[in-house]
Amino acid sequence: MNVVVRSGRLDEGERLKQIAVVAKAFWGDELDRVLDWADQGDFSPARLRELVVFVAEAEDHAVGWCSVIPQGETSWLEDLWVDPDWIGKGIGRLLFDRAAAHAEGVGAVRLEWEAEPNAIGFYERMGAKYIRDSEPREWGRTLSVMGVELRG
Ligand SMILES: CC(C)(COP(=O)(O)OP(=O)(O)OC[C@H]1O[C@@H](n2cnc3c(N)ncnc32)[C@H](O)[C@@H]1OP(=O)(O)O)[C@@H](O)C(=O)NCCC(=O)NCCS
């Protein structure tokens, strides 16, 4: 399987949104609810410009992506989504490693994010630990903020 991780492009917000929708719905949330959630998100070029986006490409199309917000000592992992057709093939790890390497490269000492409950096992495999509870998020959920220390 040939998967390449490249920087995101400002004109691919629609495809990134599609991947986020099918990935979020993968855990069984109602599609209408997930579509509403996605419509409240911002996938515009202006928003993508504010993020550091990495896209995993297989068979010449985008199959997963992540985004990072650098903010001093702690970089923030804002997104991590893998198209369900490609889940379980190592793409999540590739994207996570790229996000962590980027964070380290800009001088962060840790990477943190809010974890979807079904993805906690994946993040633990990435070496992450629970840090604190989030503020209430979509659908009134409180999520676990998780993080990894970066080697520096
Ligand atoms: C969570 C997600 C990003 C993982 O991506 P993936 O490509 O399936 O993960 P990988 O194949 O790289 O798995 C890496 C390791 O984590 C393990 N793993 C993957 N998903 C797991 C899960 N949900 N629970 C426990 N372990 C998991 C794998 O078995 C593998 O273990 P190994 O080190 O023994 O080989 C992907 O399932 C996804 O996008 N899910 C839907 C959206 C989502 O939840 N995103 C996260 C939002 S915070």
**Per-residue pLDDT tens over the stretch 19-70:** 999 999 999 999 999 999 999 999 999 999 999 999 999 999 999 999 999 9
| pLDDT category of residue 151 using cuts at 50, 70 and 90 | confident
Determine whether the shortest distance from the Cβ of 91 to ligand 1 is under 6 A.
yes
Q: What is the pLDDT of residues 76-110, one digit of tens each?
A: 999 999 999 999 999 999 999 999 999 999 999 99
Task: Give the mean model confidence (pLDDT) for residues 114-129.
Answer: 97
pLDDT of residue 90: 98
Return the residue matching tokens 């202006």: 46
pTM: 0.97
Residue 17 CB–ligand 1 contact under 6 Å: no
Q: Top-level CATH class of 3-149? A: alpha beta
Give the CA angle between residues 51, 53, 58 to the nearest 5°. 165
Given a cut of 70, whether residue 152 has pLDDT beyond it is no
CA distance 46 to 7: 16
CA 66, 70, 71, 74 torsion-angle sign: positive
Residue in 11, 22, 108, 114 with CA at minimum distance from that of residue 53: 11
Centroid of ligand 1 to alpha carbon of 38 (angstroms): 21
* pLDDT score recorded for residue 41: 96
Is the Cβ atom of 55 under 6 angstroms away from ligand 1? no
* Nearest residue (CA) to ligand 1, atom 31: 125
Return the residue whose CA atom lies nearest to atom 18 of ligand 1. Answer: 122
